[in-house]
Amino acid sequence: MFFDSRRSTVHAKNGMVATSQPLAAMAGLKILMDGGNPVDAAVAAAATLNVVEVVSTGVGGDMFALVWNNNDKTIRAINGSGRASAAASAQQLRDQGHREMPYWGVETVTVPGTVHGWETILNECGTMPLSEVLKPAIRYAEEGFPVTDYISYQWSTMVEKLARLPSGQEMLIHGRAPTQGEVMHLPNLGATLRAVAEGGAKAFYTGKIAEKTAAFIQEQGGWMTVQDLAAHTSDWEDPISTDYRGITCWESPPANQGIAGLEALNIAEGWDVAAMGSQTAETYHHFIEAMRLAFADAFRYVADPAKSEVPTTHLLSKEYAATRRSLIDPNLAMKTAPYGQVTGGSDTVYITCVDGKGNACSFINSVYNNFGTGMIVPGTGIALHNRGALFSLEHGHPNELAPNKRPYHTIIPALATKDNELYLCYGMMGAFMQPQGHLQLIRNMVDFGMDPQKAINALRFMVVDNGVLLEEGLPDDVVSQIQKMGHGVQMVSGYQRVGIGGAQIIQRDPETGVLSAGSEPRKDGCAVGW
C-alpha cells in the first residue's frame, strides 16, 4: 500500500536539499557546497523554481519559511505574504452579486510578498546576497531549461487560462505549452529577476516594475496601486507548536493554516494509532474525522491576527482536542461535520534544506492556483497570484476581505524537533492538502517508524468538500469499509495523484549528523546531498 516510486531514502552528511524539480534541487545544493547556509540554498532553489516550475510559483506570489538555528536551538518564522489593496472592498463585490470570492479574477490579486520575503530572510538569516542566489534562476530563464514530465502536463492544462490576455503568450510557445524535454526560455522573467538581483526588493516594489504591475491590474479592473506595492512588508512571527508523542511539531501561526494540522495531531494523540495499523479502514476513518474537525475550526477562526482575534492557544490545547475527539464515532462518519469548502490542488513549491552543521530551512513559495490568476504582467514574466480567493465575503467573518488585510493562507512550512534537536525539516505542497499531509507524514514516521521516503510513498487521503479522495492502490476491501462508514469516496490515479500532495522530508540524526531525505514520487523532483 505504497506508491511504487522505486525510490529509496537518500543519505548524506554535509548538506541536503529536496524539492520538486531536479534543477532547483541542484541549484540549492551548489549553494551549500559553495559555503552558503540552508537559507541561502532555499532562496536559490525557490528562485530557480520560479523559472523551471513557473506554473506553481513565482515572484508574483507569496512565501513562508521556518528557520532552525542549531547553535542556539531556536526557530524563527517569516511571513512573506501580501495584503489586500487599501481600496479592497467586500461590500463592492457583494453589491456586484458575488456571494463568495471569485476564484482567479483580478479581485483576487493581493500584493505579491515573495521578493520582499526573499530579501528579508537573506538579510536576517542568510550569508549570501540576493544577487548571488538568483544567478541560477536568471541563467535558466535566459538560456533556457528542459521542461520535466509533470510540469509539462500542468502547463498544458493552463493554455486556455493564459490565452485570455495577450501577455499570457509570454508563458507559451506559439500559443501552446512546452512539451516534456522541450527547452523553454523565459527572457522577460529573466529580466525581472536580473532587475531584482541588481536593485533588491526595491526594484520590484517601486519604479518601473511596480508601475507596470499596478497599471496592468487597474486596466483589468483591479484595486492594486503603486502605493500598495511600496507599502508592503514581511514580518517575523513566533511559530506555533504542539507535542505529539514526544515530537514537537512546528508551524507558522495564523493567518496560516498550519494550526489545522496541529489540532488534528492533538486529536489523534488520544488513540492507539500503532494498534490500528498503518493503512487500515480504522486508521483512515479516524484521521479523516480528525481532519474534518480541525478544518471546521480553521475555516471559522483563522484570519489575519492583525485584523481579527484568533484563539490560537485555545485551539491548540490538549483539553480542547479531547472535546473534539469525543465527537468522533469509531465506526461512523459524522454526517453534519461543519467543515468549510475544501478543494484539491497542488500549485505550490516546497523546499527543505539542511546543512552539515544541523541548521535547517523549511521554505514554501506559491502563486496559489496554477499560474495564479493567469494574468501575466506584460513584459515582465510575472504571474500574479490569486491568493485573495481565500478571503470570505461573509459579513463579519474573521477572514472577511478588508483593506490591507492578509487572507487565510494555505502554504505551510514545517519543522519537528525531539529533545530540543532537529528531527525533521519537511513540508507538503498542495493547497488544503498541506495540513493533512503534515498529519499523515508525522503519523507514518512517529507511529509506524517509517523512513522519510517510505513515509512519503505511503498512500494518502485528502478531505475535500464532498467527501474524501483516496489513492489508487488501496485494497478494495479497505475502500469498501471506508465507504460503509459513511465517507463519500473518490479515487485518484495518474497525474491527478499530485493533487494529493507533494512532500519533501529531511531527517537528521543528532548523534551522527547523518541526513536522510525523501522526495515526492508523484512529482518531478528529488533529494540530493553531498
Q: What average pLDDT does this structure show over 113-138?
A: 98
Asked whether the predicted pLDDT for residue 404 surpasses 60, the reply is yes
Q: How many helices (H) and strands (E) does the chain have?
A: 20, 21
Asked whether the predicted pLDDT for residue 160 surpasses 90, the reply is yes
The pLDDT assigned to 346 comes to 47
- C-alpha cell read off for 191: 529580466
Rounded distance, CA 307 to CA 24, Å? 36
Q: What average pLDDT does this structure show over 295-305?
A: 94
The pLDDT assigned to 338 comes to 60
What confidence tier does 337 reach under pLDDT thresholds 50, 70, 90?
low
The pLDDT assigned to 2 comes to 65
Rounded distance, CA 210 to CA 208, Å? 5
Rounded distance, CA 249 to CA 365, Å? 20
Asked whether the predicted pLDDT for residue 232 surpasses 60, the reply is yes
What confidence tier does 344 reach under pLDDT thresholds 50, 70, 90?
very low
Higher pLDDT, 346 or 429: 429
Asked whether the predicted pLDDT for residue 216 surpasses 70, the reply is yes
469-480 pLDDT, tens per residue?
999 999 999 999
Calculate helix-pair angle for 433-442, 281-301, nearest 10 degrees.
140
Q: What average pLDDT does this structure show over 252-274?
A: 97
**Closest to 257 in 3D by CA, of 303, 319, 218:** 303
Asked whether the predicted pLDDT for residue 343 surpasses 50, the reply is no
464-511 pLDDT, tens per residue?
987 999 999 999 999 999 999 999 999 999 888 888 888 999 999 999
The pLDDT assigned to 500 comes to 86
**Closest to 492 in 3D by CA, of 505, 504, 479:** 479
What confidence tier does 301 reach under pLDDT thresholds 50, 70, 90?
very high
- C-alpha cell read off for 131: 544577487
Q: What average pLDDT does this structure show over 389-398?
A: 96
Q: What percent of the chain has pLDDT over 70?
A: 97
Instruction: Report the Cα–Cα distance between both ends of the chain, in Å, rounded.
Output: 31
Asked whether the predicted pLDDT for residue 213 surpasses 50, the reply is yes
Asked whether the predicted pLDDT for residue 225 surpasses 80, the reply is yes
Asked whether the predicted pLDDT for residue 348 surpasses 90, the reply is no
| 8 A C-beta contact, residue 61 and residue 390 | no
166-208 pLDDT, tens per residue?
999 999 999 999 999 999 999 999 999 999 999 999 999 999 9
The pTM of this model reads: 0.95
Looking at the chain, which residues constitute the CATH 3.60.20.40 domain(s)?
A: 239-345+412-529
Q: What average pLDDT does this structure show over 14-18?
A: 98
- C-alpha cell read off for 428: 507538503
Asked whether the predicted pLDDT for residue 460 surpasses 60, the reply is yes
Asked whether the predicted pLDDT for residue 351 surpasses 70, the reply is yes
Positions marked active-site: 348
| 8 A C-beta contact, residue 228 and residue 265 | no
For domain 239-345+412-529, the CATH architecture is: 4-Layer Sandwich (3.60)
317-324's contacts with Cβ under 8 Å and 24+ in sequence apart are 317/266, 318/266, 318/269, 320/263, 320/266, 321/263, 321/266, 321/267, 321/269, 321/270, 322/270, 324/263, 324/267, 324/290, 324/293, 324/294, 324/297
83-121 pLDDT, tens per residue?
999 999 999 999 999 999 999 899 999 999 999 999 999
Cα–Cα distances in angstroms (integers) from residue 168 to residues 196, 217, 223, 311, 349, in the given order: 22, 14, 21, 42, 21
Averaged pLDDT of the chain:
95
